[in-house]
Amino acid sequence: MTFEDILNSVKQALEQAPERKFSESVDIAINLKNVDMSKPENRVDEEIILPNGLGKSIRIAVFAKGDIAQRATSAGAEMILDPEEIENLGDDKTKARELANNVDFFISEVAYMPSIAKALGPILGPRGKMPEPLTPDKNIENIVNKAKNAIRVRSKDRLSFHLPIGRRDMEAEALAQNIESVISRIEHKMVSGKQNIKSIYVKTTMGPVVKVI
């Protein structure tokens, strides 16, 4: 499979999809084979940087105070969460679920991670949204900028899973590059590389399915 093969599949998916009155997402479905997904080490749980982003604003929230909070805001984080509110969020499940559903990516100063795991782990964990720890050797600006183009790919115990790779109004080449990056990362994760990939399909939200592999 070459980049041109991926590009042709993307173009076909875009051309065949009827025009809609809203901005559709472009998604891919990945089907694996010959992998025992009952073993956690074989499951896919990867943060992947898309070279062209998702074509939409990524909502980033940061658990931080003082200088870190100010720098996170300047870097483009949409929400700063006061660490003193972690316990209250844990007690208010409705508010915590609303937060988890409305935020794409969480970051936290490392000192608050144990409290977050205890209070919010049951809600953020299953959604694959536990915060990225901000350790002293990391730069908050770099993490925020990276998060703007990152997606979380989680197979759980399934051989088939879906993920977004962009929006319909993006260029076909940009979408194809994003797909290529995902495929490369999945191949490196699998024990037998590309031999563990059964098939991959691409489609817009309401468009027809087109086979990539």
Where do the structural domains in the chain lie, given as residue ranges? 3-55+150-211, 60-147
Q: What CATH number is given for 60-147 in this structure?
A: 3.40.50.790
| CB burial string 55-91: b at 16+ within 10 A, e below | beebebbbbbbeebbebbbebebbebbebeebeebbe
Token code pair at residue 104:
């794409």
| pLDDT score at 128 | 87
Q: Kindly report, residue by residue over 94-143, the tens digit of the pLDDT.
A: 999 999 999 999 999 999 999 999 999 999 999 889 999 999 999 999 99
| pLDDT score at 57 | 86
Q: What CATH number is given for 3-55+150-211 in this structure?
A: 3.30.190.20
**pTM attached to this predicted model:** 0.83
On average, the pLDDT of the chain sits at 95
Q: How confident is the model at residue 21 (pLDDT cuts 50, 70, 90)?
A: confident
Same fold, 3-55+150-211 and 60-147: no
Residue with tokens 């490392």: 110
Q: Kindly report, residue by residue over 61-106, the tens digit of the pLDDT.
A: 999 999 999 999 999 999 999 999 999 999 999 999 999 999 999 9
Confirm if 178 and 167 have CB atoms less than 8 A apart. Answer: no
- The H or E element that residue 108 is part of is strand 105-109
